[in-house]
Amino acid sequence: MALEIPEVVIDRLPVYGRALDLLKQQGREVVNSQELGERLGVTPAQIRKDLSYFGRFGKQGRGYNVARLLDELNQILGLTREWSMVLVGVGQLGRAILAYDGFTPQGFRIIAAFDDDPNIIGTTVDGHLITSVDELAATLLERHAEIGIVAVPGATAQGVIDSMVASGVKAILNYAPIAAQAPPHVRIKDIDPVLALQSMTFYIKDQD
């Protein structure tokens, strides 16, 4: 049945999950695809189709049980466990990532942070002792981490990614402004505000 699920579908599931989380906090027990769709700017059919890839979670005539559907989505996405991450690059951006309080509640924990600046190595940032990037591989041998975060300048980013891949990291969140290369079995997502800005200007450049 669910042998080939489009990546766009997977990308939308966390969005549904976040909305359900909010509804749950508000004490809502049931929600239908129409209301969920309105909140997220998605058609109700889209939501129902997406969910149907994984099973039948709703009840006709009522809708979806909020807590139940949220649990199902977390199960599907693998969010019922903790995920360990390593951060490379403790500049201004890296510090903001270390300080960000949105990862932990969702089960993502930074277990080690690395840099190549001797002035930073050995210091403690937000409770994390900064280690030399040369020890990345050694550290990952004893303390396993599935996810790597790249917050270094573009020039050194690909090298960092290669090291992570070699050390068995399975997914990478890349903040560096490069077209990162990785083997097929390693997932990569880019966070790139400049690209986002540069495509928006196309649409607004001729307004008023």
Where does this chain bind a second copy (CB under 8 A)?
A: 10-11, 13-15, 17-19, 39-41, 76-79, 81, 83, 92-93, 95-97, 99-100, 102-103, 106, 108, 146-147, 170-171, 173, 177, 179, 181, 185, 187, 189, 191, 193-207
Which partner from the list a second copy, DNA, none does 148 bind, CB cut-off 5 to 8 Å by kind? none
CB under 8 Å to 174, separation ≥6 — which residues?
150, 157, 161, 180, 188, 189, 190, 191
**Partner in contact with 3, chosen from DNA, a second copy, none, beta carbon below 5 to 8 Å by kind:** none
Nearer to a second copy, 116 or 146 (CB): 146
b/e 143-174 (16+ beta carbons within 10 angstroms → b): eebbbbbbbbeeebbbebbebbbebebebbbb
Q: Between the CA of residue 207 and those of 196, 197, 201, 203, 204, what are the distances in Å?
A: 18, 16, 10, 8, 5
Q: Is the CB of 92 or the CB of 119 nearer to a second copy?
A: 92
Per the DSSP assignment, residues forming a β-bridge with 31 are: 64
- Regarding 64 and contact with DNA (CB under 7 A), the answer is yes
- Reading phi first (left if > 0) and then psi (alpha if -120 to 50, else beta), residue 12 is in alpha
- Residue pair 92/119 in contact (Cβ under 8 Å)? The answer is no
Which position among 18, 24, 48, 170 is part of the footprint of DNA (CB under 7 A)?
48
34 contacts which partner out of a second copy, DNA, none, CB within 5 to 8 A by kind? DNA
- Exactly one of 14, 24, 40, 57 binds DNA (CB under 7 A); that residue is 57
Which CB sits closer to a second copy, 98 or 133?
Answer: 98
Q: How far is the CB of 61 from a second copy (least distance, A)?
A: 26
- Answer yes or no: are the C-beta atoms of 146 and 83 closer than 8 Å: yes
Q: Which is nearer to DNA, 43 or 75 (CB)?
A: 43
Q: Does 6 bind DNA (CB under 7 A)?
A: yes
59 binds, among a second copy, DNA, none (CB under 5 to 8 A by kind): DNA
Q: How many alpha carbons fall within 13 Å on the CB side of residue 161?
A: 26
